[in-house]
Amino acid sequence: MTRTIDTVVTFLEMTEQPSLVDIHPPVNLKVALMRAEEIPVHFYRYLYDTVGTGLYWIDRKVLSDEALANIIHDENVEVFVAYGHGVPAGFFEIDARKPEEVWLAYFGIVPDFQGQGVGKWLLAEAIGTAWAKGPERVRVETCTLDHPRALALYQRMGFVPYAQEDKTMEVPDTA
C-alpha cells in the first residue's frame, strides 16, 4: 500500500566557493571522515536508511541493487562517511557526472549525532570536496520533509535558492 505526501522542494546553488575556514569538528567527539571507495550496496543502504528514517528518503530504496551500484560506483560519484567515536555519524554523496555542475546528491546526519555540531562541519567538508572538482556551480536540493534546520543550514553555508517546486510523492505505508 502507498499513500501520497505533499512537499515543497527547494533547489539551491553556489556559483563561487565560500570561505569556510573556521569550521571544525565538534571537540567532544572523536571524528574521522573517509571516502568509501567501492562502497558495498548494503552499507550504502544502511547509511541511507539510517539517515533518512522519518524523512521519507525513498528514491534510492526503490532501486535494485544493480541500479544503485551503477550510480554509487560511477567513477564520478563519491560517498564520504563521517565517523564519531568509531561508528557512522553521517555521510554525503558528491555527484560530479556533469563536471560543470556538481551536485551534493545526499547529505545527512545519523539521528544519534544530530545536535552535536556534526552537521555544520560535515557540510563544510562536503562543500570543499565538491568545489575541489572545479565546477562552475555546486547544487543541492532539500524539501519540507527533510530535517527542519536543513534549508537554513544550507543557506548559512552559502547556498542560494534558485527555484522551488511543489511535489507529491508516493510513499509506502512503511516509510
Grid cell at residue 63: 532501486
Q: Phi, psi at residue 137, to the nearest 5°?
A: -155, 155
Give Cβ neighbours of residue 52 (< 8 Å, ≥ 6 apart). Answer: 58, 108
Closest CA to 113 of 54, 26, 53, 42: 26
Extents of the domains making up the chain: 2-172
Residues 45, 139: Cα–Cα separation, whole Å: 23
Name the CATH superfamily for 2-172: Gcn5-related N-acetyltransferase (GNAT) (3.40.630.30)
pLDDT of the chain, 175 residues: tens digit per residue: 778 989 999 999 999 988 876 788 877 889 999 999 999 999 999 999 999 988 888 889 989 999 999 999 999 999 999 999 999 999 999 999 999 999 999 999 999 999 888 999 999 999 999 999 999 999 999 999 998 899 999 999 999 999 999 999 887 766 6
Q: Output the pTM of the full model.
A: 0.93
Q: Are 98 and 117 in contact (CB under 8 A)?
A: no
Q: Residue 154: is it exposed, middle or buried by C-beta count within 10 angstroms (0-12/13-18/19+)? A: buried
User: How far apart, in whole angstroms, are the C-alpha atoms of residue 79 and residue 71?
Assistant: 11
